[in-house]
Amino acid sequence: MKRGDTTPRPRRGPGRPRKPHTESVEAEPVEYEEDYVRDPTEVEIDSRAQTPQDRARIPLLARSVKDRFTLFYGVPDPSVARSWLGNVEDTFEYLSCTEEEKAELAAYHLRDQVVTWWKMQKSLFGNQSITWALFRDAFERQYFPAPYRIARRQEFLSLKQGDRSVMEYEAEFNRLAEYCPQLIAQDNDRLDQFTQGLAAYIRIQMSGFTPNTYREALDRALMIEMTQQQVSQERGKDKQKAQGTAPNQKQQYKDKKKRKKWQGSQNASGESYRSAKTGRSSTGSSKSS
């Protein structure tokens, strides 16, 4: 209280605590996050999954999107380029993105000289919006040369089952069909081409059966092949049984023949012994003393 100030001051009661002393705390500087740069691989997962199992898989797919993509370095091997392109298309089935985003996502995974090639292609497109169809056509023209496509097409048209099983023949059929999808655009075309390459015994047994779809022809061919394998196995078992019994019968015949020969020799020796004992010849006359 200042000297000369007569204003009454409220006194602290006996049980009233003193006001704690508070130290001034300097405010920490606020750190501002840098502007977020969107990764082209961070695309929203398709939300059309309705079942609980599909909804449970969505977080896992979101984390594995980057792992599903592989980089393409422009290896001069059409089969490698085809495999990379198929892997990209398979990944698009799990993503919800536009056609332009698909092209950007694929171009993001190009490396080395392929990047230079894609920059030239973009300059040729100009201001045109680049969709996945345009990217795919340009990519196939560059990394699937015309002679290679023609060779695969001829191989597909002349494909036969041969010594393959039906499943092996179907796998090769589908692999080559990817190089000429226009030839089997309709299911009837696919059915006819597949049936022509089947083995002769399958086509003969399918002559009385007219499949309506490609899947029916495949199932019928598998059933015929399975039946033929069972018949061959049964014939093999019967042949083994026949080969196993023949040596036994032959051995029994030899043993029987030996026994007859031995019995004949024993009878001949017995008669000669009795003749010598009685002193008579084989004609019945007595020997001279």
The set of residues, in sequence order, having a beta carbon less than 8 Å from that of 73 and lying 6+ positions away, is 111, 112, 113, 114
Mean pLDDT of 189-206: 93
Q: Name the domain boundary from 182, 204, 227.
A: 227
CB atoms near residue 197 (< 10 Å) = 19
Residue 129 falls inside a structural domain? yes
Residue 103 falls inside a structural domain? yes
- 64 and 108 co-located in one domain: yes
Task: Report the pLDDT value the prediction gives residue 248, as an integer from 0 to 100.
Answer: 60
Read off the pLDDT of residues 123-171 as tens digits, 9 standing for 90 and up: 999 888 999 999 999 998 899 888 888 898 999 999 999 999 999 999 9
Q: Which two tokens stand for residue 189?
A: 């075309």
Mean pLDDT of 170-192: 89
Residue 63 falls inside a structural domain? yes
Task: Report the pLDDT value the prediction gives residue 200, as an integer from 0 to 100.
Answer: 93
| Exposure string for 37-72, b = 16+ CB within 10 A, e = fewer | eeeeeebebeeeeeeeeeeeeeeebeeebeeebeeb
Closest alpha carbon to 105 in 130, 124, 83: 130
Cα dihedral 268, 272, 274, 280 sign: positive
What percent of the chain has pLDDT above 90?
31
Give residue 194's pLDDT band: very low, low, confident or very high (50, 70, 90).
Answer: very high
Cα dihedral 264, 265, 269, 272 sign: positive
Q: Which of 22-26, 43-47, 118-122, 267-271 has the highest mean pLDDT?
A: 118-122
Q: Name the domain boundary from 181, 199, 227.
A: 227
- 220 and 167 co-located in one domain: yes
Q: How many residues are listed for the chain in this entry?
A: 289
Radius of gyration from C-alpha coordinates of the chain: 47
Task: Report the pLDDT value the prediction gives residue 202, as an integer from 0 to 100.
Answer: 93
**CA 80 – CA 62 distance, rounded (Å):** 26
Residue 285 falls inside a structural domain? no
Mean pLDDT of 101-109: 90
- 133 and 162 co-located in one domain: no
- 199 and 181 co-located in one domain: yes
Residue 169 falls inside a structural domain? yes
pTM (predicted TM-score) = 0.52
Beta strands in 88-201 (DSSP E): none
Task: Report the pLDDT value the prediction gives residue 80, as an integer from 0 to 100.
Answer: 87
- 135 and 177 co-located in one domain: no
Q: Which of 34-43, 86-95, 212-221 has the highest mean pLDDT?
A: 212-221
Find out whether 111 and 118 touch, Cβ atoms under 8 Å.
no
Read off the pLDDT of residues 208-235 as tens digits, 9 standing for 90 and up: 888 899 999 999 999 999 999 999 888 8
- 155 and 102 co-located in one domain: no
Task: Report the pLDDT value the prediction gives residue 240, as an integer from 0 to 100.
Answer: 78
Domain that residue 223 falls in: 149-227
- 118 and 190 co-located in one domain: no
**CA 183 – CA 162 distance, rounded (Å):** 22
Question: In terms of C-beta density within 10 A (0-12 exposed, 13-18 middle, 19 or more buried), how is residue 140 classed?
Answer: middle
Residue 83 falls inside a structural domain? yes
Closest alpha carbon to 70 in 31, 41, 113, 46: 41
Q: Name the domain boundary from 227, 247, 273.
A: 227
DSSP letters, 52-117, are HHHHHHHHHHHHTHHHH---B---S-HHHHHHHHHHHHHHHTTB---HHHHHHHHHHTB-THHHHH
How many domains are there within the chain? Answer: 2
- 58 and 129 co-located in one domain: yes
* pLDDT at position 58 over 90: no
Give residue 283's pLDDT band: very low, low, confident or very high (50, 70, 90).
Answer: very low
Read off the pLDDT of residues 8-32 as tens digits, 9 standing for 90 and up: 665 555 555 565 555 555 555 555 4
Q: Which two tokens stand for residue 115?
A: 């990047």
Residue 100 falls inside a structural domain? yes
Residue 23 falls inside a structural domain? no
CA distances from 87 to 68, 81, 110, 266, 282 (A): 8, 10, 14, 89, 104
Higher-confidence residue of 90 and 274: namely 90
- 74 and 104 co-located in one domain: yes
- 169 and 207 co-located in one domain: yes
- 122 and 187 co-located in one domain: no
- 154 and 134 co-located in one domain: no
